[in-house]
Amino acid sequence: MFSIIQAAGWPIWPLVACSILALALVIERFLSLKTAKIAPPKLLEEVIAVTRQNVPGPDVINQLEQNSALGEVLASGLRALNTHPGCSQEELHASMEATGRRVAHRLERYLNALATIASAAPLMGLFGTVVGMIEIFGSQPAGSATGGNPAQLAHGISVALYNTAFGLIVAIPSLIFWRYFRGRVDEFLLTLELSAEQLARHLNHLRK
């Protein structure tokens, strides 16, 4: 592998850095976007069951807030109701919506960086290709009938081809994982929104 990097020349080093960064971002997002950390399947049912009689106290709300991203959104509605018992359903929903926006920003973290790598890697590979072509033409002396130095020609061709290939090797997985995480985040956000609306209706019915 190191011999390939050496053969590709200096233009490949930015691509190597991008590949390491993309791998780190993919691992981080896999660890952060687990269902148990974002939207545990039974959490909403448990919250509704706990609030059938009355709104729980601050200790239970704080525990819910630390449970997951969904717990954070639901806890903001319960806290708003604890602080202002007479708040309207719109105010209750607005409180959870504000928390939901903060959670959404956190879920989307690093996705733009991954998308940038997916877009920039082919261009970096193209840059390496151009550098290789420059070396090829630069290795041919003016007026030479022999076609230039074969070693320099081979080096220029290897720089061009290796950088093109490596740029695609970095870009394609980055694009695939970016689309996967983008879809996963959208699915989580829909779950958070629907859960917040369901809890708001439940709390409003509870006050009646």
DSSP of 125-192: HHHHHHHHHHHHHHTS-TT-SS-S-HHHHHHHHHHHHHHHHHHHHHHHHHHHHHHHHHHHHHHHHHHH
Q: What is the spatial distance between Cα 94 and Cα 8, in angstroms, rounded to a whole number?
A: 55
Amino acid occupying residue 190 = L
In angstroms, the first-to-last Cα distance of the chain is: 69
Provide the token pair at 201.
């209706």
- At 133 the pLDDT is 81
pTM recorded for the entire structure: 0.82
User: Tell me: the pLDDT tens digits for 85-103?
Assistant: 777 778 888 889 999 999 9
**Of 106, 108, 77, 82, nearest in space to 198 by CA:** 77
Give the dihedral sign, CA 82/84/88/90: negative
Residue 34: how many CA atoms within 13 Å on its side-chain side? 8
Report the SS3 class of residue 83: helix
Q: Which residues contact 55 (CB under 8 A, 6 or more apart)?
A: 78, 81, 82, 203, 206
Provide the token pair at 195.
């859960």
82: how many CB neighbours lie within 10 A of its CB? 13
User: Tell me: the pLDDT tens digits for 25-72?
Assistant: 999 999 999 999 999 999 999 998 888 877 788 888 899 999 899 999
User: Tell me: the pLDDT tens digits for 96-136?
Assistant: 999 999 999 999 999 999 999 999 999 998 888 888 788 77
Backbone dihedral region of 194: left (phi > 0), alpha (psi from -120 to 50 degrees) or beta?
alpha
